[in-house]
Structure 1
Amino acid sequence: MVNRIDWTGTQPPKATEKGIWGWMFFDWAAQPFFTVVTTFIFGPYFVSRLTNDPVSAQTTWSNMATISSVIIALLSPVLGSIADQSGARKPWIGFFAIIKIISLFGLWFAAPGSPVLYPVIFMILASISAEFSIVFNDSMMPRLVAKHEVGKLSNTAWGLGYLGGMIVLIAVVTLLAASPESGKTILGLDPLFGLDPKTGQDARITGPISAVWYLIFILPMFLFTPDVGRGLPFGTAVRSGLRELKNTLGELRERRGILRFLIARMIYQDGVNGLLILGGIFAAGMFGWATIEIGIYGIILNVVAIFGCLIAGRIDRGVGSKVTVVISLTMLLLATIGIISTGPGYTLFGLMPLPTADSGGLFGTAAEKAYILYGLLIGFAFGPMQASSRSYLARSVNPEEAGRYFGIYALSGRATSFMATLLFSLVTYMSGSPRLGMATLILFLAGGLALLVRTPYPADRA
């Protein structure tokens, strides 16, 4: 079992081996929503099959992400600060779990040709509930292990999350998702439960599946992971939390290292959010990938992501979170350039022509294979980037202030994230080219990386 130390002079709650695994299983429980709903299955279905206008659907999906990001940005710091005063985090996680689970079940009704308003509302509710729960779960981390173990814990949990997401994705692709033409899965089987791919049931089922998975696997965290005791009554906690948030925002002027880290993270996380939200639907629009192709692509990325997090955990423990994030951002920047430089018959903006012949089967063209290679860089880097960013902050604050600082951390990940999706929507709408829209992500990744390089580590040093 990992060692634990007292950071603040008061004994933190004891985290048994079960408690630590329970906390890590939160990521295992939460990840399928992001993997099969947001990124690889339901999102591309929303764009390519729910309506007859893929460009307009991409804009609608981007607008949904923008609205979610604004709500998350405004409320995460407030909720985190209130949680610091009210004490226990688990009641908050449970409350938002109810909203998330109900919303995910609602996605089942998003049949082709049905109004897009309802799935958009359900996605907004599920997204903000998922992100608010992450704020409370992350704020528990500094109390579980010693500071030098935080990076390993964070990356291991993130890798466990990708493993959970991959298992669900594999199940969907091999047992549920079928070709609309043949009606068979990639294994040549009839879809389980009699799902009809022509009406999108193979994609729509990912909402209820993610809901059930989440419900089952957050239970170890509730049962075994220690939580702080109850603090102030709710009304008093709200008033006190708002005062503390105001004080913390003013305090950031003195803690300039943390402020610089949060600004850097705000910028580069915008680019990463955009890449995760839009990457799958960009591929679906460019290559005409159906659920099976998108699913296999997602499996490849998740397999690579698991190994990336395991390797990054050792790097983080050896040389620190900052070096891990810098390496990861550099890889993401190169991958994004590669993706937007690739189209049918070429890559690297035409400097490398590619054969246009389709060899048949999955990813039959050379351009699709090039896209997958760039995707491997994304898979290897985006997990460590997020996990080590989380441990970067955990090493820079005390447990008693973790709630409000992780709330501000969520704000820094979402405060301007609507800018990435909004800029994508505007550029795509004005130019008619999703490729130009995707190119705007480079600005966020490169800008955040440049600022992070000049940020102290840990961030509370200056």
Structure 2
Amino acid sequence: MISKRKRIWGWYFFDWASQPYSTLLLTFIFGPYFTDIAIGHYMGTGLDADAAAAKAQSFWGWGIAATSVIIAIVAPVLGAVADSTGRRLVWVWFFSAFYILGAWGLWWVAPGGGIGVLFWAVTFFGIGFIGMEFATIFTNALMPSLSDHDDLGAISGSGFAFGYLGGLVALVLMLGLFITAPQAPPEDFATELAGETGEEGEPLVPLEEEPLAPAGDPRPRAGEGPRTYLGLPPLLGEDSETQTGTRIVGPFTAVWYVIFMIPFFLWVKEPKTAVSRIDLRRAVGQVIELLKGLRFRDSLKAYLLSSLLYRDALNALYAFGAVYAKGVLGWSIGLIGIFGLVGAAAAVLAAWIGGRADRAFGPKPVIVVSILVLTLVCLVLVGMTREQIWGIALDPSSTQSDNILFFCGALIGAAGGSLQAASRTMMVRHTTPEEAAEAFSLYALSGKVTSFIAPALIALVTGISGSQRIGFSPLIGLFLLGMILLIWVNSKGEQSR
């Protein structure tokens, strides 16, 4: 007999196992790597750097968009099938295979492979992404069977916290064991030229892209050989041409998932329900009836519209945050990785605290506070450069703007983690254990069917204004509209009826 505590911990392990797909592949490792090799390909066809970067981003964007369309179309039907047959775990098994196949296939995305490698990359990334999203739907659908209604907020928050911790650990392992850090100049590089002058008597100084490393710089010195961000020799050795240390992120993510899904499959069992055969016609009919029935379910309808807007804005903030840091403040990839670690660490703590606040006050106040924090972050991003923030002068030669963005990154991680956990709880309050898979597929549909809105608005406003900062301003409107729609959402969902 499996205890209630083990069932809950088994359910937590899905978040731990699956989170690296978002942390490592979508955001901090594979996404930037794909951009680099795509830019290299397009520059090889004769495009300049800016045009190549635009083509690379467009290629990646269309791949993600196509994947999102598939998820939006198929998710509600699959949810209805799962509810009508009474089976959820079998679908988690099935789509776990997609996750593993898609992640592992990214190993073959090597530099210099031409357009075929780019298609391979978005295809296998899409397969794994579909696996992650669909497995998440059916895992979320198991949540109502884990405990009593009053405990679900804390369970949801703890699950997200545990998942973010998994992503954080996975990112540290990738940076510390596989990925080569940039080398610092040798300590005696400047002193070798001290006192020497050029042909016209000017002091001869080293020509380099970055200032000389200060004493105590943790980066490896030139001549020491490649080192990771923890100062260790990379496990796969030198990879400047083959990029094996970066490409291993795909198999690493797949193996991580396989290992840490073991507790889930051992401890999480299917709730006892009536089991019937698959009937696609009936399932499609159920989806149509569910959509029609939304006109009589004002709270659920308002909540789906609200979450559609604020989740779209949050996902865009995740996706474009590193782009902002690179373009506006000129951050390196290594610094962006540290930025990700700060956000993930904040998300771990905040999701756990948010779960406790959810249990004490309900999910709606947690959602409202999280949206307000994220709106303020967007206001900071729109108004900040290295020289000023909303007219307040900053020292461009200092780290003032960097520190502000690091603080914003912590707020994004904290508020985003709490927002996602509380949103899952609010969805639970609008469904029953029998209809959970169908409800969460509808929740996934509302999050995917318009997932292009925020990126499209950012691109449009950026193009019109010519400012990357101002391009973030539509997110402020999306967050505020989402918060306004919460007025019509019953804080107790439909379980107060």
Distance 1:390 1:160 in 2: 15
User: Equivalent of 1:343, from 359, 366, 385?
Assistant: 385
Comparing 98-107 with 55-64, greater Cα deviation is found at 55-64
SS in 2 for 1:61: helix
Distance 1:128 1:157 in 2: 21
User: Equivalent of 1:194, from 237, 240, 244?
Assistant: 237
Distance 1:239 1:323 in 2: 40
Aligned to 2:134: 132
User: Equivalent of 2:123, from 94, 97, 121?
Assistant: 121
Aligned to 1:27: 15
Question: Is 1:77–1:408's contact at 8 Å kept on the other side of the alignment?
Answer: yes
Mark the runs of 5 or more structure 1 residues left unpaired by the alignment: 1-12, 359-364
Higher relative contact order (CA 8 A, sep 6+): 1
1:105 to partner: Cα distance: 1.4
Alpha-carbon displacement from aligned partner over 1:23-46 (angstroms, at most 9, x marks no partner): 111000010111111111222222
Distance 2:239 2:286 in 1: 53
1:123 to partner: Cα distance: 1.8
Superposed counterparts of 1:89-238, under 5 Å? 89-114=88-113, 115=115, 116-181=118-183, 183-197=226-240, 199-228=242-271, 231-234=275-278, 236=279, 238=280
Aligned to 2:196: none
Distance 1:311 1:372 in 2: 21
Matched, 1:380 2:380: no
Aligned to 1:357: 397
Question: Is 1:59–1:425's contact at 8 Å kept on the other side of the alignment?
Answer: no
- Aligned letter for 1:371? L
Distance 2:396 2:227 in 1: 27
**For residues 122 and 399 of structure 1, do their structure 2 counterparts lie closer, same or farther at Cα, with a shift above 3 Å needed?**
same
Comparing 262-271 with 290-299, greater Cα deviation is found at 290-299
Alpha-carbon displacement from aligned partner over 1:195-246 (angstroms, at most 9, x marks no partner): 5145433332222111111111112111111213572222x2x222222212
1:166 to partner: Cα distance: 0.4
Aligned to 2:437: 403
Distance 1:135 1:310 in 2: 21
**For residues 311 and 188 of structure 1, do their structure 2 counterparts lie closer, same or farther at Cα, with a shift above 3 Å needed?**
same
**For residues 58 and 119 of structure 1, do their structure 2 counterparts lie closer, same or farther at Cα, with a shift above 3 Å needed?**
same
Question: Is 2:298–2:488's contact at 8 Å kept on the other side of the alignment?
Answer: no
Comparing 105-114 with 374-383, greater Cα deviation is found at 105-114
- Aligned letter for 1:72? I
Distance 1:442 1:56 in 2: 27
1:392 to partner: Cα distance: 0.7
Aligned to 2:198: none
Question: Is 1:268–1:448's contact at 8 Å kept on the other side of the alignment?
Answer: yes
SS in 2 for 1:60: helix
Distance 1:138 1:243 in 2: 23
User: Equivalent of 1:331, from 373, 385, 391?
Assistant: 373
Question: Is 1:150–1:395's contact at 8 Å kept on the other side of the alignment?
Answer: no
Distance 2:335 2:120 in 1: 26
Question: Is 1:20–1:144's contact at 8 Å kept on the other side of the alignment?
Answer: yes
Distance 1:334 1:66 in 2: 28
1:254 to partner: Cα distance: 1.3
Question: Is 1:151–1:321's contact at 8 Å kept on the other side of the alignment?
Answer: yes
1:58 to partner: Cα distance: 2.8
- Aligned letter for 2:22? F
Aligned to 1:302: 344
User: Equivalent of 1:41, from 26, 29, 32?
Assistant: 29
Distance 2:433 2:64 in 1: 31
* Aligned-residue CA RMSD (Å): 2.2
Mark the runs of 5 or more structure 2 residues left unpaired by the alignment: 41-51, 184-221
**For residues 436 and 56 of structure 1, do their structure 2 counterparts lie closer, same or farther at Cα, with a shift above 3 Å needed?**
farther
Distance 2:452 2:111 in 1: 27
Report the TM-score, using the length of structure 2 for normalisation.
Answer: 0.83
Question: Is 1:63–1:422's contact at 8 Å kept on the other side of the alignment?
Answer: no
SS in 2 for 1:196: coil
Alpha-carbon displacement from aligned partner over 1:352-407 (angstroms, at most 9, x marks no partner): 2322226xxxxxx3322221111111011101101110001112211111111111
**For residues 446 and 198 of structure 1, do their structure 2 counterparts lie closer, same or farther at Cα, with a shift above 3 Å needed?**
farther
- Aligned letter for 2:426? Y
Alpha-carbon displacement from aligned partner over 1:159-192 (angstroms, at most 9, x marks no partner): 0001100001111122222235553222322211
Question: Is 1:39–1:278's contact at 8 Å kept on the other side of the alignment?
Answer: no
Distance 2:435 2:392 in 1: 52
Distance 2:462 2:81 in 1: 39
Matched, 1:252 2:254: no
1:15 to partner: Cα distance: 5.9
More helix by share: 1
Question: Is 2:28–2:337's contact at 8 Å kept on the other side of the alignment?
Answer: yes
Distance 2:292 2:168 in 1: 42
- Aligned letter for 1:395? R
Structure 1 ranges of 4+ moved more than 6 A: none
Report the TM-score, using the length of structure 1 for normalisation.
Answer: 0.89
Give the number of aligned pairs. Answer: 440
Aligned to 2:403: 369
Superposed counterparts of 1:279-294, under 5 Å? 279-294=321-336
1:137 to partner: Cα distance: 0.5
**For residues 282 and 199 of structure 1, do their structure 2 counterparts lie closer, same or farther at Cα, with a shift above 3 Å needed?**
farther
Alpha-carbon displacement from aligned partner over 1:36-89 (angstroms, at most 9, x marks no partner): 111112222223454243333233333333222222222211111111012221
- Aligned letter for 2:13? F
Alpha-carbon displacement from aligned partner over 1:330-353 (angstroms, at most 9, x marks no partner): 1111112222333333333xx123
SS in 1 for 2:397: coil
**For residues 149 and 109 of structure 1, do their structure 2 counterparts lie closer, same or farther at Cα, with a shift above 3 Å needed?**
same
Distance 1:73 1:295 in 2: 31
Aligned to 2:452: 418
Question: Is 1:159–1:310's contact at 8 Å kept on the other side of the alignment?
Answer: yes
Alpha-carbon displacement from aligned partner over 1:241-289 (angstroms, at most 9, x marks no partner): 2222122222221111111111111111111111122222332344444
Distance 1:373 1:49 in 2: 31
